[in-house]
Amino acid sequence: MDNIIFIGMPAAGKSTVGVVAAKRLGYGFLDTDLLIQEKEGKLLHEIIRERGTDGFLEVEDRINAQVDVRRCIISPGGSVVYCKNAMEHYKKIGTVVYLKASFETIEERIGDPRARGVALREDQTLRDLYEERRELFEKYADLTICEDGLTLEQTIGKVLKVLGK
């Protein structure tokens, strides 16, 4: 239970907050989107285009469920909450922290979600995705950090304080 797993929407700051927090704690850092790209030899949006959203989620579930690290901050993609095996694994190996941001904050930060490799269904809007995932983030979170109105530095400080670090 010595890992910290950040969940949240794409553009919530999981990787940015994770890298800085890992440095301050002396932890490792793992961005599982990069791990997926490395193992598959393709960019996320290419995997989604070739295999569809469901095919991508199968890959994401398999790779995330196999993560074996200690004293590490793990930043999985926002769609990991659809992956039952991965989330059960993460709940066993660490503390799951939901970096919560309002829809408006996410919309402002994200740019083109499809170009970013966000697993959106054809008929799905970003708001639909936000509402659907918000429930799952809340379900899996051990801790929730609301970052609306906070600077990056304030968010990191809040994360470290809540974790007692």
- The answer to whether 11 is annotated as binding is yes
- The answer to whether 71 is annotated as binding is no
- The answer to whether 51 is annotated as binding is no
- The answer to whether 116 is annotated as binding is yes
- The answer to whether 133 is annotated as binding is yes
- Terminal CA-CA length for the chain: 14
Provide the residue type at 136 as one letter.
Answer: L
- The answer to whether 144 is annotated as binding is no
- The answer to whether 127 is annotated as binding is no
- The answer to whether 41 is annotated as binding is no
- The answer to whether 13 is annotated as binding is yes
CA distances, 130 to each of 6, 8, 71, 111 (Å): 16, 10, 30, 14
Residue 119: DSSP 8-state: -
Which stretches of the chain are DSSP H helices? 14-25, 32-40, 44-65, 84-93, 103-110, 126-140, 152-162
- The answer to whether 33 is annotated as binding is yes
Q: Residues forming the annotated binding site for substrate?
A: 33, 78, 133
Q: Residues forming the annotated binding site?
A: 11-16, 33, 78, 116, 133
Q: Residues forming the annotated binding site for ATP?
A: 11-16, 116
Q: Residues forming the annotated binding site for Mg(2+)?
A: 15
